[in-house]
Structure 1
Amino acid sequence: MPSLLTLLLLPFSWLYAGVAAVRNWLYDTEWLATTAAAVPLINVGNLRVGGTGKTPHVAWLVQLLLDAGQQPAILSRGYGRDTRGFRLATAADTAATIGDEPWQHYHEFAGAVPVVVDEDRRHGLAELETLPLKISAVVLDDAYQHRRVQPSLNVLLTEQARPFWQDHVLPAGRLRESRRGARRADVVVVTKCPPTWSEQARREAAAAVHRYTRSNVPVLFSAYEYGNPVAVSGSAAGSGPKPGAEAVLLTGIAQPQPLIDYLRGAGYRLAQHHRFADHHAFTAAELMAVADSLAPGQVVLTTQKDAARLLEPTLRTAVALLPLFYVPIRVRFLADGAQRLQKLLAPLFIPRTVA
């Protein structure tokens, strides 16, 4: 049942949703133009603000394309960066110049996948096409509401713990547009599911999704797999902490609860959680405070996305005081989800392979 605050905010949500609906109608009826590209555009986005798992799902798709012999690029807004306009990531960039998620993608693929940022995705695509790069696909990171570009495949993510069909439009909820926006999706992925989520629960979730999507849209389910902690820098050394270790958690992401649940379930003892807002720009003073709070033998665990911001040159001295490790995340699809997604992607590349 909605809370009293939610009920009070609903009129403002209806106004917000109405403005978004008019904008979508203008694009749907072609009063406002959309732009396609010379290569397939695969958009990974969501209806809500905050963490639904876009970053690891983008990485999963990019790796799938690489394994299929394609040469993808990633185009992101570069949220939280200190720069503006078009920018092609290089080894000299940091999270401050291109954003933490693009920086993570660039380093995860060791520079083998072009990563570009531009708040105007249409301009970004046009600039990307001028570069001397052999690109067979572009993965758009978080462009579901960026209607000026026309994706070849719209991948809509929704978090299992707070799915779009149970949410409201801002400010009463977290949706950027009404639930009807799901009708633009070509495939829906329910993310962060329990790895052993039952078939019955998946069927019920798929039925809820299909109240808002086209009837033939596939509904897939994914879970997170966590790897062994990886040393970031500073006083972290050796093979990293093992389950049973006492740890302090440091996060600046929207939804840290899945990581907390994993760490506790794996046997880590969490003494403290220093939690900051999504895309938080850490300061040296904050890290010094974390260092001062550590008891002997404790380690600091963080996410890979947070690690991107913690490696800023201005934080080098403060980070050196921390036994700091990040916990890597990978996506695993439940049941036959990976194969079904591969089948959806395959037709896009039959006539378009890189020589």
Structure 2
Amino acid sequence: MDTPRLHAILSGRDRSVAGRLARPGLTAAAAGYGAAVQLRNVAFNRGLKRVTPLGRPTVSVGNITAGGTGKTPMVIEFVRRLLASGHRPAVLMRGYGDDETMELQDTLGAIATANGDNKPTTLVIADPDRVRGAKSAIVRDPAVDCFVLDDGFQHRRAGRDRDVVLVDATNPFGYGYLLPRGLLREPVQNLRRADGVIVTRADQVDDGERAVLDERIRRLTGKPAVAHAAHRWTSLRDADDVPWPVERLQSLKVLGVCGIGNPASFAGRLAEHASSLATSATSREAYPGVMALGDHHAYRHDELTDMLREAELRGAEAVVTTEKDWVKWRSLVAGHGLPMPVLRPVLAMQFLDGDAAVDTLLTEMFEPQAVSHRG
């Protein structure tokens, strides 16, 4: 099932017979999931399950919902700031889907190249066992002096000194239900474990919605959000990694393709930057001019060929996809000529406020009196 259809069912927008029949079953399954989550959290809260320090100061970047809240751009931003402060971070990630691992490695490598750094590219260790991954990172590079734990809020076994949770302003609490009925990984009340909440995509909602969300975060955590951030497309890169100004989209008819957790955000940004989208009167796309597939979609060569052919039939002059998708496309198109440019945006995290507070969070994890190694 593609991501837009799933979201339509979970949100209740899908009023079809299939959608209405699916929701009660998903609600029943969510009850079982919730019980398991509760038992696990109680075990950690009471010390029945052990939290293991990772051997270096650690900041976790996580979320309370499944799907795209902007963790990868935030991890990259944290790494950038730590490098600028003279630290040698390594990233520990679960490794769900090689696309995220490759995306992170490629982007961090590009940052190092652009800066002319002589230091090795930041280590990215993909291992579901973050404790084992931390040990591996230290063996591979003993100079590593801190960790950024990607998607670590629910991975409580791994100790951390600062716990940061991202909340997506466009869908902050996963339709209000636990998985699989909604997108919540655990009850919203558990946000109180976080040292700080950062609201992402804060520019994509109006002031009233943002104020309501801020007040709910304050009630849930006892403190306001640390910062509000926005995802910006700073430039584009083509298949040869040649940079293009994002303004070029104003003069091209483009088709978007993505297989990510939040296709609505990608579609919105594409519509914002592109003057003409290659829509189709015969397709039923949830986002006009964008082929939105399931998160971590496993592309096949014939499927990609069909997509590019469809782009040509629609009169597209370029295809725009995401970095996460491109790392899977790259091997499929190697040695084959592309019928048109394939571009992907270079994302940057822009803080609308709270920039200094974010630096403080990162600095605090190195202070001995602040270290707790809690999960």
Q: Give the TM-score normalised by the residue count of structure 1.
A: 0.84
Matching of residues 72-91 of structure 1 within 5 Å: 72-81=89-98
Q: Deviations over 1:129-187 (max 9, x none)?
A: 22343112100111211111111111111111111275210121011222122121111
Q: Which residue of 1 aligns with 2:318?
A: 299
Offset at residue 303 of structure 1 (A): 1.1
Asked if residue 226 in structure 1 is aligned to residue 241 in structure 2, the reply is no
Q: Which residue of 2 aligns with 1:347?
A: 364
Matching of residues 200-239 of structure 1 within 5 Å: 201-213=209-221, 215-216=222-223, 218-233=225-240
Task: Say which of 252, 256, 262 aligns to 2:259.
Answer: 252
Change (3 A) 1:319 1:102: farther
Change (3 A) 1:319 1:6: farther
Distance of 2:32 and 2:349 partners within structure 1? 36
Deviates more, 1:295-304 or 1:219-228: 295-304
Q: Which residue of 2 aligns with 1:92?
A: none
Change (3 A) 1:197 1:319: farther
Deviates more, 1:2-11 or 1:42-51: 2-11
8 A Cα contact 1:165 1:208, kept in partner: no
8 A Cα contact 1:105 1:115, kept in partner: no
Letter in 2 for 1:175: L
Letter in 2 for 1:286: E
Change (3 A) 1:297 1:261: closer
Q: Which residue of 1 aligns with 2:80?
A: 63
Change (3 A) 1:126 1:267: closer
Q: Which residue of 1 aligns with 2:303?
A: 286
Task: Say which of 138, 144, 164 aligns to 1:135.
Answer: 144
Letter in 2 for 1:308: V
Offset at residue 197 of structure 1 (A): 4.9
Matching of residues 68-217 of structure 1 within 5 Å: 68-81=85-98, 95=99, 99-110=101-112, 112-164=121-173, 166-194=175-203, 197-198=206-207, 201-213=209-221, 215-216=222-223
Distance of 1:238 and 1:160 partners within structure 2? 29
Letter in 1 for 2:217: V
**SS of equivalent residue, structure 1 residue 342:** helix
Change (3 A) 1:225 1:333: same
Once superposed, what is the RMSD of the aligned Cα atoms? 2.7
Task: Say which of 22, 33, 49 aligns to 1:16.
Answer: 33
Offset at residue 9 of structure 1 (A): 3.5
Q: Give the TM-score normalised by the residue count of structure 2.
A: 0.80
Task: Say which of 308, 321, 344 aligns to 1:326.
Answer: 344
Offset at residue 267 of structure 1 (A): 3.9
Q: Which residue of 1 aligns with 2:53?
A: 36
Offset at residue 332 of structure 1 (A): 0.8
Asked if residue 311 in structure 1 is aligned to residue 330 in structure 2, the reply is yes
Offset at residue 321 of structure 1 (A): 3.6
Letter in 2 for 1:210: R
8 A Cα contact 2:230 2:352, kept in partner: yes
Deviates more, 1:66-75 or 1:315-324: 315-324
Offset at residue 66 of structure 1 (A): 1.0
Change (3 A) 1:237 1:28: closer
Deviates more, 1:71-80 or 1:317-326: 317-326
Change (3 A) 1:216 1:209: closer
8 A Cα contact 1:13 1:170, kept in partner: yes
Q: Percent identity?
A: 27
Structure number having the greater helix percentage = 2
Q: Deviations over 1:209-241 (max 9, x none)?
A: 13322x13644211111123221249x997683
Q: Which residue of 2 aligns with 1:91?
A: none
8 A Cα contact 1:44 1:54, kept in partner: yes
Aligned residues: 332
Deviates more, 1:136-145 or 1:220-229: 220-229
Distance of 1:207 and 1:216 partners within structure 2? 9
Which ranges of structure 2 fall in alignment gaps of 5 or more residues?
1-9, 13-19, 113-119, 279-288, 370-375
Change (3 A) 1:270 1:172: same
